[in-house]
Chain A
Amino acid sequence: MTRKNGRRRAPAQNDEDFSRNTLDKLNHAFDIPQSSLLGNTQIELSGNREAIVDGCHGILEYDENTIKLAAGKMSVRFTGRGLQIKVLTPDSAVIEGFISNIEFIS
């Protein structure tokens, strides 16, 4: 792809990778939490009874023993007993129940 002035333009994918790398470097340089600049999923656990998932984009699987949430490029699976989604918003979810396992699937 060329512009009018003849200079080559990088593909969109490369642009995204470039900005991600830059933000990653900034994160390391200033010791800022990853989620704040990169928009990674943030999971906050209260023991094994509650998990607040920030940055989730939907439910993939839901029953009493398993809840699988879409979280960016990967998905997170919570397994346990009596699991329920207490609150669901477009970009977060609160899971309650006896959580016995958390699995990240990419």
Chain B
Amino acid sequence: MFFLRFIRYLHGYVKFKAQGAFIERFLNLAARDRIPVWDGRKRGAVYTGHTSAGAYRKLRPHARKSGVRIHVVEKQGLPFKRRRYKNRRGLLVGFLLFLSFIFLTSRFIWRVEVSGNERVPESEIIAVLEKNGVTPGAMRSSIDVRGAERRILMALEDLSWIALNIKGGTVHAVVRERDLMPPMVDPNMPCNIVAARSGQIMSMIVYEGQALKAVGDAVLEGDIIVSGITEDRLGQNLFRHARAKVMARVQHQIIVETPLVQNEFVETGEIKTRRFFHVFGWDLPLFLPRKIPFPYHVDRSQRLLQIAGKELPAGIFTERYVLMKEQEVTYTENEAQNMALHTLEILRKTQLDGAEIIDKAITGRVKDGVFVLKADYICDMDIASERRILLSNE
């Protein structure tokens, strides 16, 4: 039904009224002459119906013959609309421009999306894609999909598979990451297990080699715990790659010094803003070039145009320069302590990574204008460290 209406709209049709005593005869004559008449309704002596724009004229002789008067009530369809806009060339030009814009823009890549990555950052994949020509603004036809996939896999060793699916103006890069190989243990390289820190051994699992220390023994940093040199039944020395897990209770101290008086950069309150029009990776400045006095820190923000919730590769990039000046700042003991605790937390995470903290004692005091924070930890950690045995013939 929709197509029928659409075709009628394309050809144009008229709604007409017929009045007279012999409507039936008029309709019969029209039907016999194969004049299409539809959606007819008769009320009293008045008949209202529709016919195609071209066929209306053919109705007139039949109306005369049957003594019926007909007249047009309404004209509808494309030919009548076209006649109405005949002198408005601008509309046609605008429509053609719109069509050419759609045609041209559909030949470019507008978005690049990456999915399936966990370890490899999206920015890294997008950078490699860009190097291989898969970037917003590139011509769709210029992308060698298979070649780009091969080159990207060679560039990113952590990827085991990639598929570039181009759908409209969007490239979907679907990736699979490679399973990482466990570190190789070279059995031919003889080594001992030595203590990485001083402490008391709490538990020990020896996978390879001969244990020289037992659980409960105290060790100093560098002491051999498991030897890579073993003896066979005949008394001959065998060189092995010793492996072990040695959990020991160790003491660890971290000292953080925070001067109460420091030179720092503080905001002057003056802010300068620069805007760029970003399109297909190009930034067009929307400002007059003027030097911004150093020091400052910059915040960048972007607002991309969106269509139906999808971001387009065009929009406004804003750089916000917050001007700063160097100034002597005096901190109170409390402020210095908070800063020192923050630094201590960062240091603890790096120095005691993987360790189980059993006890800790943190003390702080001001000495010569410096807040000194001292943290003493007692913790259990793996102190096994491989040390290669250097043989004389090597």
Which A residues lie at the B interface, using CB under 8 A? 58-64, 84-90
Which B residues, 60 to 96, have Cβ-Cβ distances below 8 Å to chain A? none
Interface residues of A, dominant DSSP: strand
Residue of B nearest to A56 (CB): B31
When chains A and B are docked, how far (Å) is the Cα of A89 from the Cα of B38? 10
What is the CA–CA distance of A90 and B29 in the complex, to the nearest angstrom? 9
A31→B34 CA distance, assembly (Å): 34
B27 interface residue (CB < 8 Å to A): yes
Q: List 17 A-B contacts (CB under 8 A).
A: A58-B31, A58-B32, A59-B24, A60-B24, A61-B24, A62-B24, A63-B42, A63-B44, A64-B42, A84-B42, A85-B27, A87-B37, A88-B27, A88-B30, A88-B40, A89-B36, A90-B32
The smallest beta-carbon distance between A72 and chain B, in angstroms, is 15
Chain B contacts for A58, CB-based, 8 A: 24, 28, 31-32
Q: In the docked arrangement, what's the CA distance between A48 and B42, Å?
A: 19
CA distance A87 to B41 in the complex (A): 11
CA distance A90 to B28 in the complex (A): 8
Contact indicator A88/B41 (Cβ below 8 Å): no
From known contacts A58-B31, A90-B31, infer whether A84 and B41 are also in contact, taking CB-CB under 8 Å: yes
Measured in the bound complex, the distance between the Cα atoms of B36 and A85 in whole Å is 12
Tell me which of A60, A86, A88 has the highest count of chain B C-beta atoms within 10 A of its own C-beta.
Answer: A88
- Please, which residues of chain B bring their CB within 8 A of the CB of A62? 23-24, 27, 42, 47
Contact with A along B3-34 (1 / 0, CB 8 A): 00000000000000000000110011011101
| Contact flag A87-B38 (CB < 8 Å), given A58-B31, A64-B43 | yes
| Chain B binding surface, main DSSP class | mixed
Give the residue name and chain of the A residue nearest to B33 (CB): A90
- List chain A residues, Cβ under 8 A from B31: 58, 88-90
Q: In whole angstroms, how far apart are the Cα atoms of A62 and B23 in the complex?
A: 8
In the complex the two chains form, is A86's CB within 8 Å of B38's CB?
yes
Tell me if B232 is interfacial: C-beta within 8 Å of chain A: no
Residue from B27, B32, B39, B43 within 8 A of A86 (CB atoms): B39
B40 lies within 8 A of A85 (CB): yes
A68 to chain B, nearest CB (A): 9
Q: List 18 other contacts, CB 8 Å, given A58-B32, A62-B24, A86-B39.
A: A58-B24, A58-B28, A58-B31, A60-B24, A62-B47, A63-B42, A64-B42, A84-B39, A85-B27, A86-B38, A87-B37, A88-B27, A88-B30, A88-B37, A88-B38, A89-B34, A89-B36, A90-B31
Measured CB to CB, the nearest residue on chain B to A58 is B28
> Which B residues are in CB contact (< 8 Å) with A89?
31, 34, 36
Give chain A residues whose Cβ lies under 8 Å from the Cβ of B40.
84-86, 88
CB neighbours of A63 from chain B (8 A): 42, 44
**Which residues of B in the span 274-293 have a Cβ within 8 Å of any Cβ on A?**
none
